């Protein structure tokens, strides 16, 4: 069965171009001209992947991503003419999986679509046990985290990062490998993504008395699930 993709953009010409390219690649495609219309479509049928522009009147792509992430884990690719770190980080913070700058080459976008769909399908097919490590209980089915018996609310990307750490406690995970695991090949040259994400996760799980994530300068990070007060 072909994947179903929803494209959201207020420019009908871009919608037609993307729809034609994706349909020619074998995907089923729906389109929406606004964030509100996209939410209505998703309420009826959840797509396998969402592609949305950022700059739209009314509800922009950032707000749409945030709203979708409240209830769904489907891959989201954001399109924008704004090629700056602030816009990229904002989109990723709200739950986007990828950021493509306009103008873009259609083959590149199609490659990213294929990569995100592969990762999504692998995640759906894999068994999702509850992982118990140190002070953490991580339910991979419900995407919930309990730390010392207390529920911790994490964004999708924060959850992905904690899960990677929890599966390799006490091991150094390199910047490159973490970026690739969370954002795919496109993220390996964007170290600011990881710095922001680690800082956000630290704020939610660490206190002055208990540190879990240790920075390994110029290399990556090490996770101690039991917590230590001497980690930096």
CATH of the domain at 100: 3.40.50.2300
User: What pLDDT score does 94 carry?
Assistant: 81
Q: Do residues 114 and 147 share a domain? A: no
Q: By C-alpha distance, which of 203, 18, 170, 222 is closest to 107? A: 18
User: What pLDDT score does 232 carry?
Assistant: 47
Condensed to tens digits (0 to 9), the pLDDT of residues 148-196 reads 989 999 988 899 999 999 999 999 898 988 988 888 766 667 788 899 9
Angle, CA of 88, 193 and 61, to the nearest 5°: 30
User: What pLDDT score does 102 carry?
Assistant: 84
Any idea of the CA torsion for 23, 29, 35, 39, to the nearest 10 degrees? -170
Instruction: Work out whether the CA dihedral 178, 182, 185, 186 comes out positive or negative.
Output: negative
Cα atoms in the Cβ-side hemisphere of radius 13 Å centred on 83: 6
Mean pLDDT to the nearest integer, 65-73: 87
Ramachandran sector of residue 170 (left: φ over 0; alpha: ψ -120 to 50; beta: rest): left
Confidence category of residue 124, pLDDT binned at 50, 70, 90: low
Condensed to tens digits (0 to 9), the pLDDT of residues 19-65 reads 999 999 999 999 999 999 999 999 999 999 999 999 899 999 999 99
Among residues 57, 91, 125, which one ends one of the domains? 125
Please count the structural domains in the chain. Answer: 2
Q: Do residues 139 and 33 share a domain? A: no
Q: Is the pLDDT of residue 1 over 60?
A: no
Q: Is the pLDDT of residue 89 over 80?
A: no
- Domain range holding 191? 130-228
Helices (H), the chain: 12-24, 35-44, 61-69, 85-93, 106-125, 156-167, 175-183, 191-205
CA distance 30 to 13: 15
């Amino acid at each position: 069965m072909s994947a179903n993709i929803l494209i959201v953009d207020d420019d009908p010409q871009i919608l037609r171009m993307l729809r034609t390219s994706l349909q020619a690649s074998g995907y089923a495609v729906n389109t929406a001209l606004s964030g509100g219309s996209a939410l209505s479509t998703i309420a009826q049928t959840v797509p396998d992947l969402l592609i949305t522009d950022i700059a739209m009147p009314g509800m922009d792509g950032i707000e749409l991503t945030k709203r979708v992430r409240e209830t769904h884990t489907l891959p989201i690719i954001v399109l924008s003419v704004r090629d700056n770190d602030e816009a990229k980080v904002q989109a990723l913070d709200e739950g986007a999986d990828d950021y493509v700058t306009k103008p873009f080459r259609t083959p590149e976008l199609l490659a990213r679509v294929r990569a995100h769909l592969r990762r999504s399908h692998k995640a759906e097919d894999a068994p999702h046990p509850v992982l118990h490590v140190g002070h953490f209980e991580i339910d991979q089915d419900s995407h919930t985290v309990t730390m010392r018996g207390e529920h911790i609310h994490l964004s999708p990307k924060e959850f992905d990062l904690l899960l990677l750490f929890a599966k390799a406690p006490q091991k150094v995970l390199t910047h490159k490998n973490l970026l690739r695991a969370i954002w795919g090949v496109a993220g390996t040259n964007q170290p600011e993504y990881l710095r922001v994400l680690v800082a956000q996760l630290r704020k939610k799980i660490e206190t002055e008395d208990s540190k879990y994530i240790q920075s390994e300068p110029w290399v990556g990070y090490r996770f101690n699930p039991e917590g230590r007060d001497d980690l930096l």
